[in-house]
Amino acid sequence: MFNINKKNIKIIFKISLSLIIFFILTLFLTTLLFVFTTNNNLKNINTVTNKDVAVVFGCGINDNKPTPMLKARIDKAIELYKNKKVKKILLTGYKHGKFYDEVEVMKNYCLKNNIPKSNILEDKNGDNTFLSVKNVVKNFNLNSAILVTQKWHLIRALYICKNIDKNFDVVGVKANNVPYKFAMLHMNLREIPARIKAIYDILRYHK
């Protein structure tokens, strides 16, 4: 049985401290890398130039309705479309079985907001950000896109896109943040492994 004594407490403290330092350094270095790479690609509704599509990344549905975070993303894409910044809206997300289909829910929301079906593109193989971005760049014969998501996710999506195809004309417009309890902590804890995975996926893609 594990014996809690001063020696073991010191070991636990050192391990915990090392993990905290690793967490902070990784967050700082990846943020520096991603922001440095993508800062010039961040735009807003007034400064963005016209592109082929606005890309909406799925991020969860409840009772066949978009979550507040996903709704904010779709609303921003609809705003871009109605301001004639894009010709079409491309919806990319996760589908599991018959009862979980992010893209279908997003499409229905767009249709209810008077977006013509002919101007909605669908990618139901967007199981994660890397696959979504890769599918956008490679599968739809596009020359340009506006990525639409919250800023913490946007810099990662832009970083992936710029490293998949440096010639693809991509910018990002951030969707409104949706505040919730422990949002910043959750974002940081999630983004650390997500950013490491993004770098790994890019290296593997170009291998």
Domain ranges of the chain: 38-205
27, pLDDT greater than 80: no
Cα Rg of the chain, angstroms: 19
Beta strands 144-149 and 169-174: pairing type? parallel
Across 105-128, average pLDDT: 98
Confidence (pLDDT) at 39: 85
Across 158-169, average pLDDT: 96
Across 85-91, average pLDDT: 99
Both structure tokens of 75 = 């609303």
Centre a 10 Å sphere on the Cβ of residue 26 and count the other Cβ atoms it contains.
Answer: 15
Name the fold adopted by 38-205: Rossmann fold (3.40.50)
Beta strands 61-62 and 65-66: pairing type? antiparallel
Which amino acid is it at 160? I
For residues 138 and 180, the model is more confident at: 138
Confidence (pLDDT) at 24: 78
157, pLDDT greater than 80: yes
Contacts (Cβ under 8 Å, ≥6 apart) of 137: 161, 164, 165, 168
Global pTM? 0.85
